[in-house]
């Protein structure tokens, strides 16, 4: 026997795409808003504990002449910040900026080495790093002591 086929028995199996598109856009907005476009903290100066695993396998570097790099040592004694540039004392951060701008005018491809003492606040280290970048230096590195 045949069952009559009527329009009331048909079901609509179409899926509305609007809610799914809304959810996708909400997820997209969420991930864009929570994305961090800042520099990772792993490259900021911190007391490194090198156990000698990589230092022992690396060949010793050849000593570079003093004119091929700029070493900036940063330390804090009480509330006073002590700055030295290639062994010469630098009294203030503004004087350091002037000196860095003069050096960048001569040769901005020189590598800058920042030797930051352990008791130096992170804000001071970042300030010196920013002053090096503003002066026009592109290659700025941090000095780490190798413990043996």
pLDDT for 30 equals 92
* CA atoms of 38 and 72, how far apart (whole Å): 25
pLDDT for 41 equals 62
E strands, the chain, are 70-77, 80-85, 88-90, 112-116, 140-142
Domain boundaries, the chain: 42-142
pLDDT for 40 equals 61
Domain 42-142 is of which CATH architecture?
2-Layer Sandwich (3.30)
pLDDT for 61 equals 54
Q: Which stretches of the chain score pLDDT less than 50?
A: 53, 55-57, 59, 62-66
Instruction: Give the three-state DSSP class for 49.
Output: coil
pLDDT for 2 equals 64
pLDDT for 83 equals 87
pLDDT for 63 equals 45
Instruction: Look at the pTM and tell me if it is higher than 0.75.
Output: no
Tally of CB atoms within 10 A around 74: 22
């Amino acid at each position: 026997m045949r069952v009559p086929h009527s329009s009331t028995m048909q079901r609509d199996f179409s899926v509305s795409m609007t809610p799914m598109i809304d959810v996708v856009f909400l997820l997209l907005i969420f991930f864009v808003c929570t994305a961090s476009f800042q520099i990772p903290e792993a490259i900021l100066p911190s007391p490194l504990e090198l156990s000698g695993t990589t230092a022992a396998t690396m060949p010793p570097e050849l000593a570079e002449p003093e004119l091929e790099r700029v070493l900036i040592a940063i330390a804090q004694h009480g509330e006073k910040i002590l700055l030295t540039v290639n062994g010469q004392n630098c009294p203030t951060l503004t004087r350091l900026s002037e000196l860095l701008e003069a050096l960048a005018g001569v040769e901005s491809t020189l590598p800058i080495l920042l030797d930051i003492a352990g008791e130096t606040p992170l804000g001071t280290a970042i300030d010196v790093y920013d002053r090096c970048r503003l002066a026009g230096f592109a290659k700025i590195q941090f000095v780490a002591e190798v413990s043996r």
